[in-house]
Amino acid sequence: MGKLDIVTIIIIAANVIISYKGFSDFGFFEKYKFHVGAVRRGEQFRLFSCGFLHADTAHLFFNMFSLYFFANVVIGYLGVVSFLIIYVGSLLLGSLLSLYFHKDEYHYSAVGASGAVMGIIYSAILLQPGMSLYIFFIPIPIPAYIFGIGYLLYSIYGMKNRIGNIGHDAHFGGAVGGYVITLILASWLFEENLMMIALLAIPIVLLFVLKKTGKI
């Protein structure tokens, strides 16, 4: 693990400071979280601000820990500006997909950097598909692309069955954001990793088909 770039440190620090402010200030938390009714009333800033609030310390730690592991891969290949574009773009696309799926649920709310972090993870998988991941207590490394496809399929399952108090749609939207924006910024991947691009597209196409047929 290389030295963290200053932009990653700033993002992690912002998430920690703003999240802890939200932990102790209910009014602040309520004002800036993702909330369908408030967004539809015109408070679009919540689509962005919700990405710096977290439900609890464990939620915050997991997201920042994941960002810590994958940020350098993206910055190393594409640079700081592209990293920021992917991070912010994935955050917003995650929020927009949540809005799309819950647009008629005026009381639906969510918080977390998960969409942005998933975007960075999927960008890293595209850029370095040969890398392996160690997941929790599983003692053997899992190829990154297997994790990527599996996680998106699980997110579709979670959306369809409303599993847990988890924003599966924001995770999925963020992953799609990382996928699409990375391919726009690094078009050379179509020559080097076309098979990987096609494999990671399968869950995205599946979600589109399920939505079109009313099965999700």
> Looking at residue 151, what is its pLDDT?
78
**Count of Cβ atoms closer than 10 Å to residue 188 Cβ:** 9
Least confident span in 80-94, 163-177, 193-207: 163-177
> Looking at residue 136, what is its pLDDT?
62
DSSP string, 82-146: HHHHHHHHHHHHHHHHHHHHHTT-TT-EE--SHHHHHHHHHHHHHH-TT-EE--TT-SS-EEHHH
List of domains in the chain? 6-212 (1.20.1540.10)
In the chain, % of residues over pLDDT 70: 94
Do 4 and 72 contact (CB within 8 A), yes or no?
Answer: yes
Check whether 174 has a pLDDT greater than 90: yes
Least confident span in 4-8, 21-25, 166-170: 166-170
End-to-end CA distance of the chain: 39
> Looking at residue 166, what is its pLDDT?
62
> Looking at residue 158, what is its pLDDT?
75
- The reported pTM is 0.90
